[in-house]
Amino acid sequence: MGAIQTDVVIIGSGVGGLSCAALLARYGFDVIVCESHSIAGGAAHSFARHGFKFDSGPSLYSGLSSSPSPNPLRQVLDAIGEDIQWATYNTWGCCLPEGDFDTSVGADQFCQVLQRLRGETAVAQWRELQRVMAPLANAAIAIPPAAIRSDLGAMITMGKFIPSLVKQFGNVTKLTGPFSQIMDGVIQDPFIKNWLDMLCFLLSGLPADGTIGAEVAFMFAEWYKPGVVLDYPVGGSGAIINALVRGLEKRGGKLILGDRVEGIIVKNNTAVGVNLRSGKEIEARKAVISNASVWDTLKLIPPGVMPKGFREKRQAIPECESFMHLHLGIHSQGIRSDLACHYIVVNDWQKGVTAPQNVVLVSIPSVIDPSVSPPDKHVIHVYTPGNEPYSLWEGMNRNSQGYAQQKQERAEVMWQALARIIPDIRDRCEVTMVGTPLTHERFLSRHRGSYGPAIRAGKGVFPGATTPVRGLLCCGDSTFPGIGLPAVAASGMIAANTLASVQQHLQMLRDIGV
């Protein structure tokens, strides 16, 4: 049986890989996406159990329900002519050492929280930070990710945005350093500093002194403006994945599930295809694009192909820690009527936001989207976001009694967090699943179950799309700052744009109104 022929083969069907694939299909390329899991979506896939639809990863979305939007994922959906139904809301719950309260996105509500918790001085500091961040937010979105490519054509596709970037030049330089440099010049209140540390951790996996200012400025541009809402994809995160797959397949692209890429074929320092575990070979006439992590991509490249210094530099990139997950399907009879869709739980500010099991996130999407659970039920996803040490689990036998016991012990902090919101939660459960870093590693094919690089601001740069091997590009959370959906969607756009002609790229920008 001969090799399968295509223009571009993409390794991994995460949001980065699918964004890249769907956009390449729009540009007229023949595309095949290879996914080792039986479900597309990578860390953002959904799965069903007993009528409950569970999100495996991301649960907080913004900038997606309206267009035009600075959110790169919204720009991808616009470019491929796809959309989904969005449920919108503006409030989430906080369970912090200071107490439990609700807060909202938007310009003013957080000031009411500060007034109650910290007084007028804290409010004044927050207002000053908003003033300082306004021009930085404009600078952060001065060049839309949709206009970026990794070749000299970028001078043309980014050309019309250069004047606005030049106007913002003084602010742009501030965005490349750690956010703490901006924050410390304005904020003295310890609660606000802790709050911003927490938001930075959720954005990048690092506190304020490790998160680049651009990521926080982008968040301020999205969250702290009048009339802003948060979004949830009706049907769960899988609805986003389905939209990207539709964009791929309606233009002839293909998605192969349940077949792992075992290696990248390199001839004359050019990536020309991939080998699959099934024994199939896919030949790529134009490029191979890896949406695997930076560490997993290196494992696929034949020895001696990459320059030693390049390989060592990539291997040395620090990684975020892993996750614990608690997926629950519960009955909702008699439950409190004021449940929020999301909660952030912090146990102890003194330990720091990156401390293991100190920050817990709770998502109850059925509060605003009843379609993800049966009638009179709720679906719940609790997780410790990038703060669970892989070293505690390394080498454990998943079928052993020790593994089962450790799962129970390490899940306890999630049960306790949820009990602050639903005290009788353990009596309500109909479906209970606990995920560990080994689960994360196994189903997502993730190096050490990590959620991406932990590159501190000022201590290195994200690798980007290109490699020393001709025809081998990369996308995903290892190539663009941030560990969330906007970052990976941006990375997919950049890789796709780099293969497209400048004329195709410019037409896409015109079509989406950028």
In contact, 197 and 208? CB cutoff 8 Å:
yes
Structure tokens at 473: 């590009």
* In a shared domain, residues 167 and 284: no
* In a shared domain, residues 267 and 370: no
Rounded to whole angstroms, the Cα distance separating 319 from 138 reads 30
| Three-state secondary-structure class, residue 339 | coil
> Residue 17: which CATH number?
3.50.50.60
Q: What are the angstrom distances between the C-alpha of 238 and each of 48, 57, 276, 423?
A: 10, 10, 25, 30
Structure tokens at 501: 């002609």
95 in any annotated domain? no
Of 172, 201, 228, the residue that ends a domain is 228
Rounded to whole angstroms, the Cα distance separating 75 from 64 reads 9
99 in any annotated domain? no
Domain boundaries, position 212: 106-228
How does pLDDT run across 175-202, given as a tens digit for each residue? 888 999 999 999 999 999 999 999 999 8
Structural domains counted in the chain? 3
100 in any annotated domain? no
Of 449, 465, 482, the residue that ends a domain is 449
* In a shared domain, residues 314 and 458: yes
* In a shared domain, residues 337 and 441: yes
* pTM score of the predicted model: 0.94
* In a shared domain, residues 354 and 441: yes
365 in any annotated domain? yes
* In a shared domain, residues 110 and 207: yes
Provide the pairing of β-strand 342-346 with 322-331. Answer: unpaired
Question: SS in 3 state form for 247-284?
Answer: HHHCCCCEEEECCCEEEEEEECCEEEEEEECCCCEEEE
N residues, the chain = 514
* Kind and range of the H or E run holding 344: strand 342-346
* In a shared domain, residues 436 and 467: no
Cα radius of gyration rounded to whole Å, the chain? 22
* In a shared domain, residues 361 and 265: no
Nearest to 324 by CA among 421, 430, 439: 439
What are the residues whose beta carbons fall under 8 Å from the beta carbon of 41, sequence distance 6 or more? 13, 14, 15, 18, 56, 237, 238, 240, 241
Per-residue confidence (pLDDT) for residue 141, from 0 to 100: 82
Per-residue confidence (pLDDT) for residue 254, from 0 to 100: 98
Rounded to whole angstroms, the Cα distance separating 256 from 103 reads 42
What are the residues whose beta carbons fall under 8 Å from the beta carbon of 172, sequence distance 6 or more? 139, 142, 165
90 in any annotated domain? no
Q: What are the angstrom distances between the C-alpha of 296 and each of 10, 167, 436?
A: 14, 40, 19
* In a shared domain, residues 501 and 392: no
Structure tokens at 325: 């997950």
Q: For residue 512, report the phi and psi dihedrals to the nearest 5 degrees.
A: -95, 5
38 in any annotated domain? yes
* In a shared domain, residues 355 and 408: yes
Per-residue confidence (pLDDT) for residue 483, from 0 to 100: 67
503 in any annotated domain? yes
Q: DSSP labels for 151-213?
A: STTHHHHTGGGHHHHHHTHHHHHHHTSBHHHHHTTT---HHHHHHHHHHHHHHHSS-TTTSBH
* In a shared domain, residues 218 and 247: no
| Three-state secondary-structure class, residue 445 | coil
Per-residue confidence (pLDDT) for residue 1, from 0 to 100: 56
Nearest to 271 by CA among 251, 235, 300: 300
Per-residue confidence (pLDDT) for residue 176, from 0 to 100: 85
Per-residue confidence (pLDDT) for residue 139, from 0 to 100: 82
Residue 226: cis peptide before it, omega within 30 degrees of 0: no
Residues of the chain scoring pLDDT < 70? 1, 168, 483
Per-residue confidence (pLDDT) for residue 49, from 0 to 100: 95
| Three-state secondary-structure class, residue 58 | coil
101 in any annotated domain? no
Rounded to whole angstroms, the Cα distance separating 462 from 483 reads 12
Of 228, 259, 280, the residue that ends a domain is 228
* Kind and range of the H or E run holding 449: none
* In a shared domain, residues 285 and 400: no
Q: DSSP labels for 11-27?
A: E--BHHHHHHHHHHHHT
Q: Specify the DSSP class assigned to residue 453.
A: B
* Kind and range of the H or E run holding 335: none
